[in-house]
Structure 1
Amino acid sequence: MRRRGTTARPGRRPSRTFVSLTGPAGNIGDALIRRATLEWATGTSDELVAYVGDAPDAWLAQLGLPSDAIVLRSKRSVPRWLWMILTAPARPVLVFEAGEVPLDRGNGLRELVFLAETVLVRVRRGVVVRPPRGIRAPSNPSARLHAWAARLSQVALWRDAASAAIAGGGRLAPDIGFNAGVRPGRAWDERDELVVSLRGARPHPGDAWVEAVRSLASSEGLHIRTVVQVREDEDRARELADALGGDVDPWGQTDAVTQEARLRDRYDAARLVISDRMHVLVLGALSGAVPVEAVPRPTRKIAEAFDTIGLHDITVDTSTAGADTLQGFLARTLDRKAEVDERVRAAERALGGVEDELRATIRAARA
C-alpha cells in the first residue's frame, strides 16, 4: 500500500481526515476494500481518525492502520466522532467506506446521521469522499436521504449503473477492490487449478453443476480446489471438495493476513475461479484467472460491477442450465484470458486516476 504522509505546518491547527473502516474480521473481501479506502484517506491530513465499530485488534492489523491514527470503537463512540467532526479545524476530510450500502427499511436513522456528517463537513468547507459503492434493497426514506448526501459530496462514486440511477445520477467507477494490485501469477500453460469458493448461506448448486465442473476440470487437466475467503463458508468449501473430488484449503486457525496471502497464491495458479463472492472473483481476476459466477439464481451485483469495467457475461444461472450447457459455457470462458487481463489493468488505472483527482480536490479546498 502506498503511504502518502503530511506534516503539520507551524502556527496552524493540524488538518484532520475522518474515515469509516467497519467490517467483520472473518471476511477477506471486506478487509480488501476497507484497506483500499484507508489508502485513499492516508496522507490527506495531518491527523487520521478511524471509526472501526466493534472490530477486534486483528482487524486493525489486517487493514494496516497507522499506529498514530486515532481509533474510535463501538457505537458508543459515535457522539465523539460527530463532536470531532464539528470541532475539527477548517476544511476536514470525510471518507466513507466502500462496498455495499443497505438502504432497506430500518436504515433511515443511520442515513440521517450520515447526511448530518456530510453537511457538517461541507459547512466547514471540507471535502466528502464516497468511494465506489453499490446500493442494496433501496426504500424510502433511506434511499432519499442517501441520495441527498451523495449529491452534497464532492466525490461520489458508484460501482454499477443501477446504483447510480437509484441515487439520481453520479459517476461510475470500478469496485475499489481492483486497486489491490495486478499480479502476474503463473504462466497460463503452467496454471493447473480450478478454484471454487461459494457462499455457505445459499443452496447447494446441485448435481448438474457438480457434473459440469468435474467434467470441465477433467477435460482441461485442472485440479479442483475449494478455498475459504469468508469464514462462514468453510463448511460449504469442505462439502464441495468432497462432491467434486478435489482438495479443500480450510481457513481454520490461520490469521487473516496469512490467509489472504495464501488465497492470492492459489489464485495465481488458477485458470478459472468460480464463485458467488464478488471479491473472490476480483482477486482471482487480479491474479490472471478467468472469473465466473456460476450458481443458481445469481443476484445482479457481481454482473453489474463487472459490467462497469467492461467485462460482460461472466455470470450464468445454473438453475436453468444443464450440465452440458454449463460445461460449454465454462470452457468458452477460458478463451477470455487476454480480455480479463486488459479489463483488470484498465480498472486499476482508472482507480489510480480517481485517487489522484480526489487528492487534488482536497489540495484545492485547502489552498
Structure 2
Amino acid sequence: MSLTGPAGNIGDALIRRETLGWASGTSDQLVAYVGDAPDVWLRQLDLPADAIVLRSKKSVPRWLRLLLFAPRRPVLVLEAGEIPLDRGNELRELVFLAETIIVRLKGGVVIRPPRGIRAPSEPALAIHRAAARRSQVTLWRDESTLAVARCGTLAPDIGFSAGIRPGLPWAERSELLVSLRGTRALPDAAWVAAVREAADLAGLSLRTVVQVREDESRAGELARLLGGEFEGWGDTDPVLQEERLRQRYDAAKVVVSDRMHVLVLAALSGAIPVELVPAPTEKITKAFAAIGVHDLSVDSSASDPTRMREVLLPTPERAAEVSERVRLAAAALDDVQQQIRDGVRRVRE
C-alpha cells in the first residue's frame, strides 16, 4: 500500500486509514510505503505493528524488489485523495505504472480507491491513464475527474466511509464552526459580517477549529475578527485532536470551510457543510455533487450579503437532506469495499 501524507492533516490521515481498512486482511503481509511521514502518522493510520514500513524515496527500489519477488497474486492498493499530475510528476507516475504492470503479470490485483486529479498535464496524465486502465479497480470521486481519466468508475470520496455519528439532537446544537485554509487571504468585512449575522439570527455561538495544522494561526485571526472562541491544535496528540474535532462537529449546526474533509466530517456528524470563500476551486462542489449534495459552495466575492446569509442559516430540512445523502454514500462505499474483497478473494483462492 501507498500511504504517504502529512501528519498535520487529519483529513489526509482519515482517507488513508479508510483505504487501509479496505485492504486489511486481503494478504498475508502488509507492506506500507509512508514516504517521510513521522511515527505519529503510523498511529493515525492505525497501522498494524507487524507491517513492513518503507520510508523515504530511497526505499522505492526495495518496494519494487518486494513486488518482483512476492508470491503470486499480490495486492497493490494506492492511496486515496487528490493526485497532482502537473509537470514534474512523470517519474512518480512511471514508478506506479511499473508497479501496476508487475502486479498484473504476477496475477495480482491493483486497487485505486476514489481519487481526484489535479492540474493534469502531459505526459504525466497519459502515464496515469495507462496505469489506471491496467488496474482491476479504478475509482474517481467526481464526474469531471472521470471524464479526464477516460476509464474507471465514479464512487463517493472514501472519507464518507469514516463513520456516521448521531451527534446532538438538532435543537441542542449550539455552534457555527469555521475552519479555513491558512494560505488564503483573510476574508473581507462583508464575509465577517455575514457570518456574524447568520450566527446571531440562528442563536449560535462562533468557534474556529483546526483540522490542518498549518491553518492554526488563521483560525486564531478569524476568531478575533468574528468575536468567537478559538480552539487551537497546540500540543494535542493528532489522534486525540481528530476525536475532539468530531465531537465539535457533533454539536454544530453549520460548519464553514474550504477544506473538503472538514466538510465531509461535519456532514458525517449531522452538521450542514458550507464552503463560503472567494472563488471556490470547485473540488468540494464536485465531490459533494457526486453524492447528490448541491448548493453548498458560494463565491463570497461575487455574492451579496443576503445570499451569504441564506447559505449560512441552518434549517433541520437541509440537515436531514445532507444526512440522507451521506448515508447513501456510506452505504455505496460499503458495497464497493465488499465487491473489492470478494474480487481479491476469488483471485487469490
**TM band (smaller chain):** over 0.9
Tell me the amino acid that sits aligned with residue 143 of structure 1. Answer: L
Structure-2 separation of matches of 1:329 and 1:337: 12
CA distance in 1, matches of 2:274, 2:133: 34
Q: CA deviation at 1:333?
A: 6.3
Letter in 2 for 1:168: R
Query: What is the match of residue 16 of structure 1?
Result: none
Secondary structure in 1 matching 2:186: coil
The one-character-per-residue Cα deviations of 1:176-196 (angstroms, maximum 9, x if unpaired) are 011110000000000000000
Amino acid at match of 2:181: R
d(CA) in 1 for partners of 2:167 and 2:310?
A: 25
Q: Deviations over 1:246-266 (max 9, x none)?
A: 001100111101100100000
Rounded to whole Å, the distance in 2 between the matches of 1:206 and 1:283 is 26
Aligned 1:1-367 pairs, distance under 5 A? 19-331=1-313, 335-367=317-349
Equivalent residue letter for 1:234: E
How far off its partner does 1:170 sit?
A: 2.0
TM score, norm. by length of structure 2? 0.99
- Shift, 1:173, TM fit: 0.5
CA distance in 2, matches of 1:324, 1:203: 22
Q: How many residue pairs were aligned? A: 349
Moved over 4 A (4+): none
- Please state how far the C-alpha of 1:334 moved relative to its aligned partner: 5.9
| CA separation of 1:295 and 1:333: change in aligned 2, threshold 3 A | farther
Mapped contact 1:272–1:334 kept (Cα < 8 A): no
Question: 2:265, 2:25 → 1: CA distance?
Answer: 26
Distance 2:290 2:305 in 1: 29
Q: Post-superposition shift, 1:324?
A: 2.4
Provide the secondary structure at the position in 2 that maps to 1:174: coil
Alpha-carbon deviation of 1:364?
Answer: 1.2
Pairwise CA distance, 1:325: 2.2
TM-score, normalization by structure 1? 0.94
For structure 1, the 5+ residue unaligned runs are 1-18
1:61 is displaced (CA, Å) by 0.8
Q: How far did 1:41 drift?
A: 1.3
Q: Distance in 2 between matches of 1:263 and 1:100?
A: 23
Structure-2 separation of matches of 1:162 and 1:169: 12
Deviation at 1:332? 6.3
Contact 2:175 / 2:206 at 8 angstroms: preserved in 1?
yes
Distance 1:238 1:335 in 2: 32
User: Can you give the 5+ residue segments of structure 2 that lack an aligned partner in the other structure?
Assistant: none
Distance in 1 between residues matched to 2:209 and 2:326, nearest whole Å: 22
Listed one character per residue, the Cα deviations across residues 260-319 of structure 1 (whole Å, up to 9, x for unaligned) are 010000000000000000000000000000001110000010000001111111100000
Q: What SS does the corresponding residue of 1:285 show, helix, strand or coil?
A: helix
> How far, CA to CA, are the matches of 1:334 and 1:231 in structure 2?
31
